[in-house]
Structure 1
Amino acid sequence: MRILNVCNFGKIPDTDNKLIYRSILYCTLNTHKIDMSRLLGGQIGLEDFIFVHVKGQPKEVEVTKSEDALGLTITDNGAGYAFIKRVKEGSIMDKVPLIAVGDHIEKIDGKNLIGTRHFEVAKMLKEIPKGSTFIIRVVEPLKSGFSYVAQSTGKKGSSSVGTGKKTLRMRANGPATVETEDNSSQIAVDKINGLLESFMGINDTDLAQSIWEIGKKQDNPHDFAVAMDNSDLGGFGFTDDFVFDLWGAITDAKSGRLESAVKDFNEQF
């Protein structure tokens, strides 16, 4: 196990001159396990540990698409590596040997997918005709050993730092900032991300956050649809029905209904 003390980097591409990031598949927070619920995103708690998962054994499997859906949820690391975040129980891919959560999808029928975004990979898999057979090549994360980024050892600040109430948010453009966590916003982003998974078979917290940032400023579904079309997200070609579903989640979050639903569920559970 190597301990790396790394500063001044946020997303994986930013580490170009500090680490050989091309071997990095993804990072998890506070666990060395392949836990897709603990993936490093745009937010890091000030006392978090970052565990780096690197390329391991490549695997190649022949798959017959006997159903319309393969049962995969795909995300990516922002640096050109799409990987499997979830495998639906009982699905085609759940029955395929060797394929596992956390595997990087490197090739489909010999086509190199390095540098391809997760939604492009999902679209390619979705467009494979039912009944046809294809070859998928994946790379599993290295299982023997890992390295991690140690938490800061600097002087302690105020008592609120490290309580989980504040988060270090990193952006592609602009400086990192420490923000107080907004629980309702996080619930909204999680809900939108769930809709993205159902509609596109992808998991993308940054995309969900962008949709929320657009939607929370709008007063009605028409303005929201126009704002989406006029933004960088217009290229996704979301259907009118899906945009309406997104608006429903946004209005529920703005009114507090989503937060109440989560609270009720936790109490019942």
Structure 2
Amino acid sequence: MFKKHRSKSSKAIANSESHQMEPPSAPTAPPVSPVSKNSLQFYCQLAHGSPTTFVSNFKNIKELYERIGESFNIPASEILYCTLNSYKIDMNKLLGGQIGLEDFIFAHCKGRPKEVELTKSQNALGLTITDNGAGYAFIKRIKEDSIIHHIPHIQVGDHIEKLDGVSMVGKRHFEVANALKNIPVDTTFTIRVVEPLKSGFSELTPKPSRGAGSKKGYGSGRETLRFKADGNAEVQEQDDAMEVGVEKINGILESFMGINDSELASQIWDLSVDKKNSMDFAEAVDESELAVFEFTDELIIEIWGVITDVRDNRL
């Protein structure tokens, strides 16, 4: 309907769908920050425990990881992903396409690798996969009572490093999901995952920092640093409609494709701006870098429906 190369049927890519140190303490109250709206420095700690530092001078996720690595004198490749305002492995607090100017960044580093041999007894393994935007795909969600759910060694937050000895490093989440989907049913294969380095305090709740809620140097609290598709980062006022739209689009991506990516959802939302119908929207997607996803007609229509619902305040 929209484009010759787009599949007419809804084919989900997958329903299958990271330095040993002294035992850390729970995050301590951060020092007085030189943060200002102009300098755009952010509080940062290693999730398994470290002093607090500040990171700045980055315009995309990859550069952010490089700045964090420099701050803690570790290779950026040791960082699996970051969470915001929580040092726990909380997939609801993943750093995606934007950072609030008051957010505290926790970097999760590579921990123990694990190799598991399993048999794909069903079409779907039960994984939702996302990636960190810098070359590592990892498990965001595990479906209850799925194949993976019954393998305790594979957990949410684990980086998928290899499949049958083939490296998945540098691949996007949809490529890893597709590789898992293409494994024939009843085939036995080996998956190598790397869990994030964990502290002995992972079940504790971080103590609120002194003066929390009054970080005057961080701006109004309604502003966020957005990582845009063109490689530039831009401070914007928080857009409530966009936030709802991105969340809903992400839900559709997970249902149809087994992937979760707030940055991708943000790009899709941006492409819908000023589009008056689904045809215009589909054309904008096909003419963008997102054409590589080969979204089906059904998926485009589903996403457009959510976008119009958000615009008309029906959600």
Task: Give TM-score scaled by structure 2 length.
Answer: 0.74
Specify the code of the residue in structure 2 equivalent to 1:128.
I
Structure showing the higher helix proportion among its residues: 1
Aligned to 1:241: 298
Aligned to 2:285: 228
Aligned to 1:203: 260
Aligned to 2:276: 219
Q: Distance in 2 between matches of 1:235 and 1:40?
A: 24
Q: How far apart are 1:175 and its partner, in Å? A: 5.0
Asked if structure 2 preserves the Cα contact closer than 8 Å seen for 1:58 and 1:138, the reply is yes
Aligned to 1:188: 245
Q: Distance in 2 between matches of 1:207 and 1:173?
A: 13
**Which is worse superposed, 11-20 or 54-63?**
11-20
| SS of corresponding position for 1:124 | helix
Aligned to 1:167: 224
Structure 1 residue runs of 4+, over 4 Å off? 172-175
Q: Aligned ranges for residues 45-84 of structure 1 at < 5 Å?
A: 45-84=100-139
Asked if structure 2 preserves the Cα contact closer than 8 Å seen for 1:25 and 1:54, the reply is yes
Q: How far apart are 1:118 and its partner, in Å? A: 0.7
Aligned to 2:58: 9
Q: Distance in 1 between matches of 2:156 and 2:231?
A: 33
Asked if structure 1 preserves the Cα contact closer than 8 Å seen for 2:229 and 2:267, the reply is no
Specify the code of the residue in structure 2 equivalent to 1:9.
F
Distance 1:35 1:212, change over 3 A: same
Q: Distance in 1 between matches of 2:258 and 2:232?
A: 32
Aligned to 1:261: none
Aligned to 2:216: 156
Residue correspondences, number: 252
Asked if structure 2 preserves the Cα contact closer than 8 Å seen for 1:59 and 1:137, the reply is yes
RMSD over aligned CA atoms reads: 2.5
Asked if structure 2 preserves the Cα contact closer than 8 Å seen for 1:12 and 1:21, the reply is no
Specify the code of the residue in structure 2 equivalent to 1:7.
S
Asked if structure 2 preserves the Cα contact closer than 8 Å seen for 1:73 and 1:86, the reply is yes
Q: How far apart are 1:219 and its partner, in Å? A: 0.8
Q: How far apart are 1:220 and its partner, in Å? A: 1.1
Aligned to 2:89: 34
Q: How far apart are 1:176 and its partner, in Å? A: 3.6
Q: How far apart are 1:92 and its partner, in Å? A: 0.8
Q: Distance in 2 between matches of 1:172 and 1:255?
A: 26
Deviation readout 1:75-113 (Å, 9 max, x if unpaired): 111111100000011111101120000000000011011
Specify the code of the residue in structure 1 equivalent to 2:195.
E
Specify the code of the residue in structure 2 equivalent to 1:61.
V
Distance 1:18 1:30, change over 3 A: closer
Q: Distance in 1 between matches of 2:232 and 2:187?
A: 48
Gaps of 5+ in 1: 259-269
Asked if structure 1 preserves the Cα contact closer than 8 Å seen for 2:97 and 2:226, the reply is yes
Specify the code of the residue in structure 2 equivalent to 1:114.
V
Deviation readout 1:218-240 (Å, 9 max, x if unpaired): 11111112221112111211111
Please, which of 130, 133, 140 is the counterpart of residue 188 of structure 2? Answer: 133
Q: Aligned ranges for residues 62-141 of structure 1 at < 5 Å?
A: 62-141=117-196
| SS of corresponding position for 1:56 | strand
Distance 1:247 1:171, change over 3 A: closer
Task: Give TM-score scaled by structure 1 length.
Answer: 0.86
Asked if structure 2 preserves the Cα contact closer than 8 Å seen for 1:42 and 1:169, the reply is yes
Specify the code of the residue in structure 1 equivalent to 2:239.
D
| Higher RCO structure (Cα 8 Å, ≥6 apart) | 2
Distance 1:98 1:49, change over 3 A: same
Specify the code of the residue in structure 1 equivalent to 2:135.
G
Specify the code of the residue in structure 2 equivalent to 1:249.
V
| SS of corresponding position for 2:216 | coil
| SS of corresponding position for 1:257 | coil
Asked if structure 2 preserves the Cα contact closer than 8 Å seen for 1:73 and 1:201, the reply is yes
Specify the code of the residue in structure 1 equivalent to 2:295.
F
Q: How far apart are 1:165 and its partner, in Å? A: 1.8
Asked if structure 1 preserves the Cα contact closer than 8 Å seen for 2:97 and 2:266, the reply is no
